[in-house]
């Protein structure tokens, strides 16, 4: 068995990617953010304060004949961007891309932080990280993919995120036609709940890859490519107008600049992110100053290959073999 779901950028900056998910009987369809950087499936619900839920599609367990309360269970999660949510837990049928998991833990939000209240484009997250990262207590729950893996043709999923166009999350199979290059595989470290891996080197503007390894995570839930200062500086030294903007908390430059590409090595392959994928967006509507897709990871503590990097590749999240595959797109 397999599943295939389309995913769409939320806005002109590809800030996040939205995928429709069916929950319950009859189906309640919610727009959710698939996130390989976390391991909880949580939703805005009938239990979310009305003032917070305004403008959001919500899940009502009371309207689902297959919903069951997981009594005594609660959850609470804090994300890298300081957003947070918490609540209680139900189990229900969850269908993604035509594949159904009958008894999936659906974490219902009784509290959501301001960022989530304001982001009416999504009604929650589908965590696609490792089960060890799940935040339900007293008994941690499995992710949708972990529950699905044993029934899928292959225990893997792929992410094909695209700039300003529809992409896909495929479960149980690899559609190699989505990629131009060969898929290079490298071991994945799930010990922290993330899809951790080590890139073997990098280069700017098509130069030869150096051999400076970069350890980080493949994270569909993070917008940017976040790397160490030495790499960020090496890149922006090639961008005449680049400067750090305190108010934007990142490097900005003239939107008219012709940005160099950025490449990294992984699994014996080279993934090249084109210059235009590295220009995220004007800092404000109509501004001629643009915000960089590559920014510093120095105050985070880990390097993050987020959507800016993932848009250049077909990425295989292979749970069965504990490995990540990367192919140029």
Smallest gap, in angstroms, from Cβ of residue 239 to ligand 2Z3? 17
Residues 296, 304: contact at Cβ < 8 Å? no
Smallest gap, in angstroms, from Cβ of residue 139 to ligand 2Z3? 20
Phi, psi (5° rounding) for residue 178? -75, -10
Tell me how many residues contact ligand 2Z3 (CB under 6 A).
20
Task: Clarify whether 119 is annotated catalytic.
Answer: no
Instruction: Give me the residue label for tokens 């007293």.
Output: 138
Preceding amide of 138 cis, omega within 30 = yes
Smallest gap, in angstroms, from Cβ of residue 157 to ligand 2Z3? 16
For residue 143, give Cα distances in angstroms to 41, 126, 280. 7, 8, 31
Stretch that binds ligand 2Z3, among 184-192, 207-215, 217-225, 317-325 (CB under 6 A): 217-225
Stretch that binds ligand 2Z3, among 20-28, 30-38, 201-209, 257-265 (CB under 6 A): 30-38
Give CA 177 to chain center in angstroms.
22
Helix (H) or strand (E) segment spanning residue 87: strand 84-96
Stretch that binds ligand 2Z3, among 46-54, 77-85, 156-164, 282-290 (CB under 6 A): 77-85
Nearer to ligand 2Z3, 80 or 181 (CB): 80
Comparing every residue's Cβ against ligand 2Z3, the nearest one is 37
Catalytic choice (14, 33, 35, 40): 35
List the one residue from 30, 33, 152, 279 that touches ligand 2Z3 (CB under 6 A): 33
Lookup: tokens for 31: 């727009």
* CA-wise closest residue to 140 among 40, 37, 43: 40
Smallest gap, in angstroms, from Cβ of residue 119 to ligand 2Z3? 5
Task: Clarify whether 254 is annotated catalytic.
Answer: no
Helix (H) or strand (E) segment spanning residue 303: strand 303-305
For residue 281, give Cα distances in angstroms to 15, 157, 235, 309. 10, 29, 18, 15
List the one residue from 22, 23, 35, 200 that touches ligand 2Z3 (CB under 6 A): 35
Q: How many CB atoms sit inside 10 A of residue 308's CB?
A: 26
Question: What are the residues binding ligand 2Z3 (CB under 6 A)?
Answer: 15-16, 33, 35, 37-38, 79-81, 83, 115, 119, 125, 219, 221-224, 300, 304
Residues acting as catalytic residues? 35, 219
């Amino acid at each position: 068995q397999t599943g295939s779901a389309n995913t769409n950028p939320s806005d002109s900056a590809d800030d996040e990617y939205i995928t429709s998910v069916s929950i319950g009987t009859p189906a309640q369809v919610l727009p959710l953010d698939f996130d390989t950087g976390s391991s909880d499936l949580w939703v805005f619900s009938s239990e979310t304060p009305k003032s917070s839920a305004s403008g959001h599609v919500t899940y009502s367990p009371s309207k689902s004949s297959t919903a069951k309360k997981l009594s005594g269970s609660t959850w609470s999660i804090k994300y890298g961007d300081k957003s947070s949510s918490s609540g209680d837990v139900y189990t229900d049928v969850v269908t993604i891309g035509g594949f159904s998991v009958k008894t999936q833990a659906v974490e219902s939000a009784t509290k959501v932080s301001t960022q989530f209240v304001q982001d009416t484009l999504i009604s929650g997250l589908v965590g696609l990280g490792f089960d060890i990262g799940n935040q339900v207590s007293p008994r941690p729950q499995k992710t949708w993919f972990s529950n699905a893996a044993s029934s899928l043709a292959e225990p893997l999923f792929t992410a094909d995120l695209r700039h300003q166009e529809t992409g896909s999350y495929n479960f149980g199979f690899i559609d190699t036609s989505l990629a131009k290059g060969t898929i290079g595989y490298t071991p994945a470290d799930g010990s922290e709940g993330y899809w951790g891996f080590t890139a073997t080197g990098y280069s700017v503007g098509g130069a030869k890859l150096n051999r400076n390894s970069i350890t980080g995570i493949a994270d569909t839930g993070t917008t940017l490519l976040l790397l160490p200062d030495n790499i960020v500086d090496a890149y922006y030294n090639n961008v005449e107008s680049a400067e750090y903007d305190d108010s934007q908390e990142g490097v900005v430059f003239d939107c008219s600049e012709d940005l160099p590409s950025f490449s990294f090595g992984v699994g014996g392959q080279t993934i090249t992110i084109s210059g235009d994928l590295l220009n995220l967006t004007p800092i404000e509507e109509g501004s001629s100053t643009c915000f960089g897709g590559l920014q510093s990871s120095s105050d985070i503590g880990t390097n993050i290959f987020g959507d800016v990097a993932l848009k250049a590749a077909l990425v295989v999240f292979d749970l069965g073999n504990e490995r990540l595959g990367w192919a140029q797109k």
